[in-house]
Amino acid sequence: MILTGEEIKSQLGKNIIIEPFDEKLLNPNSYNLRLHDEMIVYEEIVLDVRRPNRYRRHIIPPEGFVLQPHKLYLGRTIERTETHNYVPMLEGRSSIARLGLFINVSAGVGDVGFCGYWTLELVAVHPIRIYPGLPICQILYMAVQGEISEYRHGGKYQNNQDIQPSLLFKELQQPPKDLQMRLAFGQELAE
């Protein structure tokens, strides 16, 4: 069951926190979240899931920033959310998708208990200019059936304060194998 806009509003300060909250962004069954003025872009040619990847931070100026096709940009919401006893879900807005911009490539379901800013995975089909403060996605809340176990402080994205690049490497604690062959002393000169 998805909460209505009125139910989202009635749960504010109890099971749902949206800061800042603006009633004009409330929809019949969701709430629009806005784009912050910063993004990050990975600098690596090949991303490695077993280690942190370098990235560069970009500011979205008031006159806008043009996203290029086939490139992943990570942004974040202006709003910080906190959710208890419901599953928060992030969806792109159809008006944005109709311009060829995908907002969450595959990570739209949050965890019960998540607290923080939402990192957005932005991918454009063709060049598109975006602006800070743009209502870019919507959050909706689903009721949970069964015993609830909340996402806790140990969660790698919990209580974040900024855009979160992938932290998958923290789950993959194995050090990568060194694929470089080692030679015994003097063997490098052998024929």
Q: How far apart are CA 46 and CA 122, in angstroms?
A: 18
Q: Give me the pLDDT at residue 168, please.
A: 83
Catalytic residue among 44, 121, 150, 191: 121
pTM for the whole structure: 0.84
pLDDT: which is higher, 147 or 178: 147
The question of whether 23 is a catalytic residue gets the answer no
Q: What tens digit of pLDDT does each residue of 20-53 get?
A: 999 999 999 999 999 999 999 999 999 999 899 9
